[in-house]
Amino acid sequence: MHYFDQITTKDIMREIKRILTPNGYLIARVNSVDDINYGAGQGEKLEENFFFVEGYNKRFFTTQDAIKFFSIIGETKVKEAEC
């Protein structure tokens, strides 16, 4: 999910929804906009929270972004954690 524009990310979510078993679970970990040590907010801005960094695209998610994209699949629970 970290390398795609919004349109492609939404398409990917719809495809995951299509192939996920009924009542199945998707567990995912995504880059946070708070991860400044890993490039959040750096590079050429392509979209909101989406940048061209060191030769490739990189997306960072707010809690609201995670809910927006993953709710395409179904019920969504989001928890931000520090690693």
Helix (H, G, I), strand (E, B) or coil at 66: helix
Q: Residue 41: pLDDT band by 50, 70, 90 thresholds?
A: confident
Q: Residue 83: pLDDT band by 50, 70, 90 thresholds?
A: low
Q: Could you identify the residue written with the tokens 């192939």?
A: 19
d(CA 2, CA 26): 16
The closest of 6, 75, 74, 60 to 29, measured between CA atoms, is 60
- For residue 24 the two structure tokens come to 């199945």
Name the average pLDDT for the chain: 92
Helix (H, G, I), strand (E, B) or coil at 56: strand
The closest of 82, 59, 70, 68 to 12, measured between CA atoms, is 70
